[in-house]
């Protein structure tokens, strides 16, 4: 049926909560104004939460829904059908739809790139997620990692806290400018902190039917708070604050931690009507590369004061979570935890016993893993969420996580998990991963898994030539969907991981030597990566425009091409280092190719990500000439490769 627009009738009382957004979404159906408008009516029905039914014919669109969110999802589906057709028409038919998981969310990490997202970037991200029927977004407001670029800790606080000015976390990035073609330094505060717009994000999300759950890193992933507030820091054997981890026994330390949590509640949770806080509890163990004075020193988060030294790591984690949980319970706030340390230390049941004994709200346990094998959640005692990823490192190379998404969701569903929450750092290049997660978390039983999704995705992005598009996707996926290949080899072409080695390696010299060895033929790994992606790009047909997102085929080609070009440049430097003679013109050509790669990265990534992506490539490009000098005057590379007769 060809129509001009939709006319939304008055909604029943129980369906009106998102009426403004329902009318906004319906208004996006806009065809030939000379054609008739189609009325849309809504009826309250005894359906499960978020479920809806649609009857669509030439007399109108009739929506039945059990709640206001179901009514909103129905209109989103009508818009999707309109966009899918692409010819200004709606088909006649009926839809009955409901979600597999009650909670379908993405967790947005506080990390490189998200610290630069403006309020407009957040609104755009929420528009994208909500149209995919995502109903929960976790926002990391505090998290810390080890020392990377520029020799400074990776520390992020996104929400200012009155009385704690020492927790401000300025950022410094050395990158490269495509405009001036020179290295530049960027100094800034995280945009959400500087603009104080966390509450605005919460309110906008609520208008879309999305709940926000703030995330508080700790007691692992915490260098900023214990360093700036030594009263609550873990102590070493001599009684000195370590600046990493928390004391959980000294009264003054527990009081300071409680005061900090109450401040967070008063400033950011209570005013925004938030009733959950993600109190992380993950990756709680000793690590190196967090002490700027000695990056090789292993620093423990476990307190060694008189009251703590007899406690096991699991005991200390329990005490930390209970201390925070008792404060939050008094404020009417429940908790979410990552599962890994509670399970690794064997204390999950003991912790839940303590929660019951103290009559605290039972926390949600979120079981996460981003590679094989997927975890098997235990959903017997607490609300359980299963957590794959839609993307780990937007500042490195794009990965296909559809296999991880399917595996983790199936394990969670089999165990009785009520929710699905995907780890993410917002990047339009991860559109397919987000769509896969949304698709499978809504309709896992009939999705056909990752394979079924890829078939639908190929039709979605290149309807006329979807078979060829599917071939290109699967070919590229032989590289980008391989976690070992991407994480342990390909990502290391860029300096991100080498910046954590604390001077034990020299980048890129040592890496170039590794890839130049005769056996195993590591250079051939890169040749295969580049050739596979170049072939996939060459056969991918033209794509379609997609509402709310950049054109997905263009994004996919840009990401695949960036990785292939990086591998080619790396191989060219290896070849140059092996030559008996090398002219300055040849070196300049390599550097020029590197600058073109930098420009491509700068222009194909969103503004909040571009400086971080370019920084990684600049870290290699700026070293090409000096690395060649070192390699050619020092031990050098191994000789020409030797081919095995049957490996071609």
Mean pLDDT, rounded, for 414-436:
98
Residue 297: count other Cβ atoms within 10 Å of its Cβ.
11
Pick left, alpha or beta for residue 162 (phi over 0 → left; psi -120 to 50 → alpha; otherwise beta): beta
Interacting residues of 482 by C-beta distance below 8 A, sequence separation 6+: none
Closest by CA to 614, choosing from 485, 438, 494, is 494
Indicate whether 379 belongs to any domain. no
User: Among 62, 97, 132, which residue terminates a domain?
Assistant: 97
Distance CA 216, CA 45 (A): 39
Percentages helix, strand, coil for the chain (3-state, rounded to 5) are: 45, 15, 35
Write the pLDDT tens digit of every residue in 269-279: 999 999 999 99
Write the pLDDT tens digit of every residue in 442-469: 999 999 999 999 999 999 999 889 999 9
Question: What's the sign of the alpha-carbon dihedral 620, 625, 626, 628?
Answer: positive
Predicted local confidence at residue 9, as pLDDT: 95
Distance CA 601, CA 618 (A): 10
Distance CA 476, CA 534 (A): 9
Mean pLDDT, rounded, for 361-370:
98
Indicate whether 189 belongs to any domain. no
Domain count, the chain: 2
Indicate whether 498 belongs to any domain. yes
User: Among 97, 128, 143, which residue terminates a domain?
Assistant: 97
pLDDT at 643 over 80: no
pTM of the entire structure?
0.97
The CA dihedral of 501, 502, 504, 507, to the nearest 10 degrees, is: 60
Predicted local confidence at residue 590, as pLDDT: 97
Mean pLDDT, rounded, for 333-338:
98
Stronger pLDDT, 229 or 150, i.e. the higher one:
229
pLDDT-based confidence at 641, cuts 50/70/90?
Answer: low
Distance CA 319, CA 503 (A): 37
Indicate whether 492 belongs to any domain. yes
Stronger pLDDT, 85 or 169, i.e. the higher one:
169
Strand partners, 39: 7
Stronger pLDDT, 580 or 101, i.e. the higher one:
101
Question: What's the sign of the alpha-carbon dihedral 155, 161, 166, 170?
Answer: positive
Mean pLDDT, rounded, for 572-578:
94
The domain of 93 spans: 6-97
Interacting residues of 375 by C-beta distance below 8 A, sequence separation 6+: 339, 367, 368, 369, 386, 408, 411
Write the pLDDT tens digit of every residue in 585-639: 999 999 999 999 999 999 999 999 999 999 999 999 999 999 999 998 877 676 6
Write the pLDDT tens digit of every residue in 537-559: 999 999 999 999 999 999 999 99
Interacting residues of 600 by C-beta distance below 8 A, sequence separation 6+: 558, 561, 562, 565
Indicate whether 429 belongs to any domain. no
Q: Which residue has the tokens 């604390």?
A: 502
Contact between 400 and 432 (Cβ < 8 Å): yes
Residue 112: count other Cβ atoms within 10 Å of its Cβ.
27
What is the chain's mean pLDDT, rounded? 95
Whole-number Cα distances in Å, 123 to 112, 434, 537: 19, 16, 31
pLDDT at 505 over 90: no
Query: Which of helix, strand or coil describes residue 40?
Result: strand
Structure tokens at 229: 């507030």
User: Among 75, 97, 119, which residue terminates a domain?
Assistant: 97
Question: What's the sign of the alpha-carbon dihedral 584, 590, 593, 594?
Answer: negative
Distance CA 305, CA 38 (A): 71
Which contiguous run of DSSP H or E holds residue 95?
Answer: strand 93-97
Query: Which of helix, strand or coil describes residue 422?
Result: strand
Predicted local confidence at residue 152, as pLDDT: 82
ω before 475 within 30° of 0 (cis)?
A: no
pLDDT at 409 over 90: yes
Indicate whether 327 belongs to any domain. no
CATH code of 61's domain: 3.30.379.10
Indicate whether 162 belongs to any domain. no
Predicted local confidence at residue 339, as pLDDT: 98
Predicted local confidence at residue 640, as pLDDT: 67
Q: How many CA atoms lie within 13 A of 232 on its CB side?
A: 22
Burial 328-351 (b: 16+ CB within 10 A, else e): bbeeebbbbbbbbbbbbbebbeeb
Report the relative pairing of strands 93-97 and 384-387 from DSSP bridges: unpaired
Predicted local confidence at residue 646, as pLDDT: 61
Indicate whether 33 belongs to any domain. yes
Structure tokens at 384: 């359980």
What is the DSSP secondary-structure string of 433-448? HHHHHHHHHHHGGGS-
The CA dihedral of 301, 306, 307, 308, to the nearest 10 degrees, is: 20
Contact between 280 and 246 (Cβ < 8 Å): no
Distance CA 512, CA 499 (A): 16
Structure tokens at 648: 């071609």
pLDDT at 439 over 70: yes
Strand partners, 185: 174
Distance CA 171, CA 607 (A): 16
Closest by CA to 117, choosing from 136, 132, 137, is 137
Contact between 221 and 243 (Cβ < 8 Å): no
pLDDT at 536 over 90: yes
Burial 372-409 (b: 16+ CB within 10 A, else e): eebbebbbeebbbbbbbbbbbbbbbbbbbbbbbbbbbb
Torsions phi, psi for 566 (to 5 deg): -65, -45
Contact between 558 and 600 (Cβ < 8 Å): yes
Predicted local confidence at residue 648, as pLDDT: 59
């Amino acid at each position: 049926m060809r129509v001009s627009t939709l006319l939304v009738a008055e909604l029943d009382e129980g369906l009106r909560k998102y009426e403004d957004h329902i009318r906004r979404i319906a208004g996006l159906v806009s065809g030939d104004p000379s054609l008739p408008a189609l009325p849309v009516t809504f009826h309250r029905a005894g359906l499960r939460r978020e479920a809806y039914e649609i009857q669509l014919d030439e007399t109108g669109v009739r929506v039945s829904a059990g709640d206001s969110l179901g009514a909103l999802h129905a209109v989103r589906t009508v818009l999707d059908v309109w966009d899918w057709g692409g010819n200004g028409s709606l088909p006649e038919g009926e839809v009955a739809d409901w979600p597999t998981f009650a909670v379908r969310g993405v967790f947005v990490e506080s990390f490189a790139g998200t610290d630069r997202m403006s309020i407009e970037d957040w609104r755009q991200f929420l528009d994208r997620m909500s149209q995919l029927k995502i109903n929960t977004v976790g926002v990391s407001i505090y998290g810390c990692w080890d020392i990377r670029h520029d020799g400074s800790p990776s520390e992020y606080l996104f929400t200012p806290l009155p009385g704690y000015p020492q927790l401000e976390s300025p950022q410094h990035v050395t990158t490269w400018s495509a405009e001036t073609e020179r290295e530049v330094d960027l100094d800034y505060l995280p945009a959400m902190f500087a603009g104080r717009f966390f509450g605005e994000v919460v309110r906008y999300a609520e208008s879309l039917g999305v709940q926000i759950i703030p995330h508080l890193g700790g007691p692992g992933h915490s260098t900023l708070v214990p360093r700036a507030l030594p009263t609550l820091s873990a102590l070493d054997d001599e009684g000195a604050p370590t600046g990493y981890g928390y004391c959980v026994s000294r009264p003054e330390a527990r009081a300071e931690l409680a005061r900090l949590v109450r401040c967070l509640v008063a400033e950011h949770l209570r005013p925004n009507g938030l009733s959950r806080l993600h109190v992380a509890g993950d990756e709680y163990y000793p690590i190196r590369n967090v002490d700027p004075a000695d990056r090789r020193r292993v620093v423990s988060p476990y307190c060694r004061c008189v009251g703590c030294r007899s406690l096991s790591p699991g005991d200390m984690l329990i005490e930390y979570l209970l201390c925070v949980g008792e404060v939050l319970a008094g404020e009417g706030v429940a908790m979410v935890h990552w599962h890994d340390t509670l399970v690794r230390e064997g204390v999950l049941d003991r912790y839940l016993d303590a929660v019951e004994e103290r009559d605290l709200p039972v926390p949600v346990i979120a079981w996460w893993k981003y590679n094989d094998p997927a975890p098997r959640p235990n959903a017997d005692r607490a609300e359980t969420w299963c957590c794959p990823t839609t993307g780990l490192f937007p500042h490195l190379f794009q990965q296909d996580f559809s296999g991880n998404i399917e595996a983790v969701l199936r394990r969670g569903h089999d165990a009785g998990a009520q929710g699905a929450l995907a780890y993410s750092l917002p990047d339009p290049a991860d559109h397919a991963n987000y769509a896969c997660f949304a698709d499978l978390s809504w309709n896992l039983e009939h999705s056909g898994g990752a394979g079924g999704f890829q078939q639908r995705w190929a039709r979605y992005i290149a309807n006329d030539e979807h078979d060829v598009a599917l071939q290109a996707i699967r070919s590229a996926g032989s590289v980008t969907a391989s976690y070992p290949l991407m994480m342990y080899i390909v990502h290391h072409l860029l300096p991100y991981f080498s910046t954590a080695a604390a001077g034990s390696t020299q980048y890129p010299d040592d890496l170039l030597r590794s890839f130049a060895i005769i056996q195993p033929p590591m250079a051939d790994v890169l040749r295969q990566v580049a050739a596979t992606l170049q072939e996939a790009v060459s056969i991918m047909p033209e794509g379609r425009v997609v509402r709310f997102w950049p054109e997905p085929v263009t994004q996919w080609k840009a990401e695949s091409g960036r990785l292939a070009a990086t591998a080619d440049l790396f191989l060219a430097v290896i070849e140059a280092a092996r030559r008996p003679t090398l002219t300055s013109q040849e070196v300049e050509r390599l550097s020029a190719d590197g600058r073109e790669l930098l420009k491509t990265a700068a222009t194909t990534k969103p503004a909040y990500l571009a400086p971080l992506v370019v920084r990684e490539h600049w870290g290699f490009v700026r070293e090409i000439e000096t690395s060649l000098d070192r390699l050619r005057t020092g031990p050098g590379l191994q000789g020409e490769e030797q081919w095995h007769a049957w490996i071609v």
